[in-house]
């Protein structure tokens, strides 16, 4: 969804390890090296007058500038297709409804806090949007996810981490993390995608060298039954410099464990 005050996250997603989070009842398997398939038994809701109104509103709000839906759209936020397998109606309403009550309810669901602002709409519009989103099925065949290959050895070797990252480096890393669309796949708190491991407390699970070595490209593809080829959601290469890798690593190492 587009809003003039909406912080647009640019294109990129990070995958911090070579495993894929299950999507509730999803199962992930590895047909090839570093390639995973994920799908669920989602049964989308039937269309209704409310969902029809929500579909029109999604077009007017230009949700597809960031999210993909019905096989098309942006890749700068988590895909909407099959979102009913990953998010509840209550969560989505709390995320997009305007007003103090909804903001406070979302804060309860996401105790870590919001990393970036998201546009909100009046409650009736929010209900229609959510009704529409819950009618969206997964892509036929599910999702195909390829993990990060190793980072360029010369770039990694040039990263010189500090013993104690500076607050400035952490701020720069956070900005890069948001602008390069890491939340399309990863989650922090209750926000973000669910196609890759959550990053809360990642520094307690992985050392700095591991994170540095995995800050490179990633892709998510939608699959069709036609030879598993079809419209694809592509995350563009990060093209991180050594200094940027260090800053993003500093930010990730600073994330507390989930509450």
Which stretch, 95-99, 192-196, 205-209, has highest mean pLDDT? 95-99
Q: Quick check: pTM over 0.75?
A: no
pLDDT (tens digit per residue) in 74-91: 767 788 999 998 889 999
> Would you say residue 28 has pLDDT above 60?
no
What pLDDT does 26 receive? 36
Partners of 69 in the beta sheet?
Answer: 72
What pLDDT does 1 receive? 46
Domain boundaries, the chain: 27-133, 143-254
pLDDT (tens digit per residue) in 137-170: 988 877 777 666 555 555 555 656 556 788 999 9
Which stretch, 50-64, 75-89, 174-188, has highest mean pLDDT? 50-64
| Section 124-130 average pLDDT | 97
| Section 50-64 average pLDDT | 94
Alpha-carbon distance values, 164 to 155, 196, 202 (Å): 21, 27, 17
Per the structure block, which two tokens stand in for 127? Answer: 């209900």
pLDDT classification of 19: cutoffs 50, 70, 90 = very low
| Section 252-257 average pLDDT | 90
Q: Are 196 and 185 contacting, i.e. CB atoms less than 8 angstroms apart?
A: yes
SS3 of residue 207 by DSSP: coil
Residue 254 or 146, more confident: 254
Q: Do domains 27-133 and 143-254 have the same CATH topology?
A: yes
The class level of CATH for 143-254 reads mainly alpha
Question: What CATH fold (topology level) applies to the domain 27-133?
Answer: Cytochrome Bc1 Complex; Chain D, domain 2 (1.10.760)
Report the mean per-residue pLDDT for the chain.
74
């Amino acid at each position: 969804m587009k809003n003039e005050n909406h912080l647009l996250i640019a294109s990129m997603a990070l995958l911090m390890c070579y495993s894929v989070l299950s999507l509730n009842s999803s199962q992930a398997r590895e047909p090839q090296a570093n390639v995973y398939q994920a799908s669920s038994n989602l049964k989308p809701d039937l269309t209704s007058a409310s969902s029809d109104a929500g579909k029109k509103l999604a077009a007017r709000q230009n949700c597809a500038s960031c999210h993909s839906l019905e096989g098309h759209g942006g890749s700068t936020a988590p895909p909407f297709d099959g979102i009913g397998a990953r998010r509840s109606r209550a969560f989505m309403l709390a995320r997009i409804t305007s007003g103090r009550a909804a903001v406070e309810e979302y804060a309860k669901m996401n105790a870590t806090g919001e990393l970036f602002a998201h546009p909100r709409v009046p409650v009736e519009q929010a209900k229609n949007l959510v009704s529409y989103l819950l009618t969206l099925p997964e892509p036929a065949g599910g999702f195909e996810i390829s993990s990060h290959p190793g980072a360029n050895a010369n770039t990694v070797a040039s990263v010189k981490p500090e013993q104690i990252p500076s607050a400035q480096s952490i701020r720069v890393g956070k900005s890069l993390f948001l602008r390069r669309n890491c939340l399309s796949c990863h989650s922090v708190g209750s926000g973000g995608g669910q196609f890759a491991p959550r990053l809360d407390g990642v520094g307690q699970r992985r050392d700095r060298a591991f994170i540095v070595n995995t800050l490179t490209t990633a892709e998510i593809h939608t699959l069709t039954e036609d030879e598993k080829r079809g419209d694809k959601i592509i995350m563009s290469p990060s093209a991180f410099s050594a200094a940027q890798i260090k800053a993003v690593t500093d930010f990730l190492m600073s994330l507390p464990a989930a509450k």
